[in-house]
């Protein structure tokens, strides 16, 4: 979003400030719209509850609305009317039941308080909440401290009663109400966290099996006996395996069945695992999304004679981005992870680091695949390994309103530390970090390079904040970057001496250049033929050719990255 705003502003210093302010305003507007939509939804649900006779539930909804926006039209009057009426009773005669209400005489606060306290002492928590809310409407100043104390206890007790049942959402609502009056006890806070994770896992069920399994695994690690998480985890592995098997993808199917059997032995699943494992040994894998271009013959991709490419592609089934890896030795792209982006190889090619789009943080994964682990748990962009692999650099707005470049050890031994104001950092083989930014006074912008360990000031190589560095050459003398300096996205190369060369000049979008690990060429992304793809070219920009189809959609591609590792 920041980059999009930069394209239409004229002054670089004012550009950055306006982009930040606009982004914050848009975020606020979206949050406000979301809250207004939820308030309107609760009002509609309250009306439905009143019609169907669920007065207590309607009272809770309307009371919550008043805590969010006391001036919401007619809510206060509707709440008072609901509290002073009996539960609607449909007439059995008409085909369509018509709710009828009988007014209840207004009582003095002392009587209402006595009734509320009576049901509270009997442990009738839902009735106590209704009576106490009634009293608050009748006289908000009557026994205020004691009323809040009883409401707080009633919310906690009712939530504690409902959490083990199927009424999890209601329990969470009551806990939220209690939290507005006082702290949540540790045991209930832990149960709430489990309930939230459980609901989150179910929300991904059948949509994103990787995410479902990950959420269920986290719950299982906490307590294997929580609800049906263990049986659901086993079932999720089996169903995920069945989906792979339906696609004749026998290797990942065998892996999912193996996980299920490891958790709980079942003869039927074990037979599935054995069958899939045998087929895996003899099957020729079918390319996953991001398949090799049909014009490329089987065998190593033409031109990709060294290393391996990591990139992302939009998965049409769940509208999330998948992280893919394809090597010179195997033309079949392999899906490594889902809902992540901005991959970057370690210099030895044995590990990847990437950004999580679903959760704040950066993850690493071995080159051969396997489990991903977090190395940073805060909002961060464009991670990159140091030459020795012991540190990372990244950009974040976590510590300030503007983008800043930070460094951190991969083992988490010390906290991240600041290097410079800027964005899009990439660590080169010679120890220098290239990034896009401006001087402290905002007068000089462009691509800068800085060695964080030599104590020397940074050096500016280009003159536009629209220049985004993406990859160093293997010898540490060239930086590939993309820019809209001439009005559309094109690819450039800048030597550390400051010499710039334009490598593409096309009306289509072209960007995300990545140097080959041996310096033999560059990979980049383009939509020049009305369809997105990954292209290769020589270091001088010649012999441009498409090697991988990415499909017709690649929204927000400027926030992604291609990385070419050893």
The radius of gyration of the chain's CA atoms, rounded to the nearest angstrom, is 30
Residue 398 CB contacts under 8 Å (≥ 6 apart), including other chains: 378, 379, 380
149, with CB counted inside 10 A (0-12, 13-18, 19+), is middle
More confident residue, 306 or 297: 306
Q: What is the spatial distance between Cα 48 and Cα 63, in angstroms, rounded to a whole number?
A: 15
Give the pLDDT score at 5. 37
Q: Is the pTM of this model over 0.75?
A: no
Instruction: Give the model confidence (pLDDT) of 80-122 as tens digits.
Output: 555 555 444 444 444 445 444 444 445 688 988 999 999 999 9
Give the pLDDT score at 81. 56
CA angle centred on 88, ends 87 and 91, rounded to 5°? 140
Q: Domain 207-282: which topology?
A: 1.25.40
363 neighbors 372 (Cβ within 8 angstroms): yes
pLDDT band at 311; cut points 50, 70, 90 = very high
Instruction: Give the model confidence (pLDDT) of 504-524 as tens digits.
Output: 998 899 999 999 998 889 999
Domain coordinates of the chain in residue numbers? Answer: 207-282, 308-565
Q: What is the spatial distance between Cα 407 and Cα 398, in angstroms, rounded to a whole number?
A: 13
Give the pLDDT score at 433. 97
* Per-residue tokens: 148: 């809040």
Domain spanning 308-565: which superfamily?
TolB, C-terminal domain (2.120.10.30)
Mean pLDDT (whole number) for 415-441? 94
Give me the residue label for tokens 């099996």: 209
């Amino acid at each position: 979003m920041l980059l999009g705003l930069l394209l239409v502003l004229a002054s670089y210093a004012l550009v950055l400030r306006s982009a930040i302010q606009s982004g914050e305003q848009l975020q606020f507007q979206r949050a406000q719209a979301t809250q207004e939509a939820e308030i309107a939804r609760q009002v509609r649900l309250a009306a439905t509850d009143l019609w169907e006779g669920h007065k207590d539930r309607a009272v809770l909804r309307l009371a919550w609305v008043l805590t969010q926006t006391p001036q919401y039209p007619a809510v206060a009057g509707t709440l008072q009317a609901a509290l002073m009426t009996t539960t609607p009773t449909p007439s059995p005669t008409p085909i369509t039941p018509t709710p009828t209400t009988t007014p209840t005489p207004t009582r003095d606060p002392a009587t209402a308080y006595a009734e509320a306290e009576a049901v509270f002492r009997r442990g009738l928590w839902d009735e106590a909440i209704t009576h106490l809310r009634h009293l608050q409407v009748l006289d908000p100043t009557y026994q205020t401290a004691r009323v809040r104390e009883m409401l707080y206890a009633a919310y906690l007790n009712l939530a504690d009663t409902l959490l083990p049942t199927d009424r999890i959402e209601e329990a969470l609502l009551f806990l939220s109400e209690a939290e507005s009056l006082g702290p949540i006890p540790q045991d209930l806070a832990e149960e709430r966290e489990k309930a939230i994770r459980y609901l989150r896992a179910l929300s991904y069920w059948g949509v994103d099996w990787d995410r479902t399994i990950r959420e269920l695994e986290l719950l299982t690690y906490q307590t294997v006996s929580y609800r049906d998480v263990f049986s659901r985890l086993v079932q999720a592995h089996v169903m995920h395996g069945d989906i792979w098997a339906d696609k004749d993808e026998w290797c990942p199917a065998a892996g999912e069945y193996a996980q299920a059997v490891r958790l709980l032995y079942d003869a039927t699943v074990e037979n599935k695992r054995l069958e899939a494992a045998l087929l895996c040994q003899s099957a020729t894998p079918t390319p996953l999304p991001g398949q090799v271009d049909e014009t490329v013959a089987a065998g190593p991709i033409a031109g990709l004679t060294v290393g391996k490419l990591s990139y992302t592609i939009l998965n049409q089934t769940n509208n999330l981005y998948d992280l893919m890896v394809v090597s010179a030795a195997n033309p079949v792209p392999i899906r490594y992870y889902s809902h992540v982006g901005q991959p970057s190889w370690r210099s030895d090619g044995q590990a990847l680091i990437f950004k999580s789009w679903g959760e704040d943080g950066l993850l690493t994964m071995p080159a051969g695949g396997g489990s991903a682990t977090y190395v940073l748990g805060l909002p961060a962009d464009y991670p990159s390994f140091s030459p020795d692999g012991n540190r990372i650099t990244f950009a974040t707005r976590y510590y300030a309103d503007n983008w800043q470049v930070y460094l951190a050890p991969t083992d988490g031994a010390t906290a991240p530390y600041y290097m410079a104001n800027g964005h899009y950092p990439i660590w080169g083989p010679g120890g220098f970090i290239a990034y896009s930014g401006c001087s402290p006074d905002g007068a000089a912008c462009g691509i800068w390079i800085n060695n964080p360990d030599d104590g020397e000031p940074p050096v500016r190589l280009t003159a536009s904040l629209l220049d985004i560095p993406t990859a160093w050459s293997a010898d540490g003398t060239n930086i590939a970057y993309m820019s809209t300096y001439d009005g559309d996205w094109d690819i450039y190369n800048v030597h550390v001496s400051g010499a710039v060369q334009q490598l593409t000049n096309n009306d289509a979008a072209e960007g995300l250049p990545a140097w080959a690990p041996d310096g033999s060429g560059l990979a980049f992304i383009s939509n020049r033929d009305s369809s997105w793809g990954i292209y290769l070219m020589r270091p001088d920009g010649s012999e441009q050719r498409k090697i991988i189809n990415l499909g017709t959609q690649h929204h927000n591609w400027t926030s992604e990255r291609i990385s070419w590792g050893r």
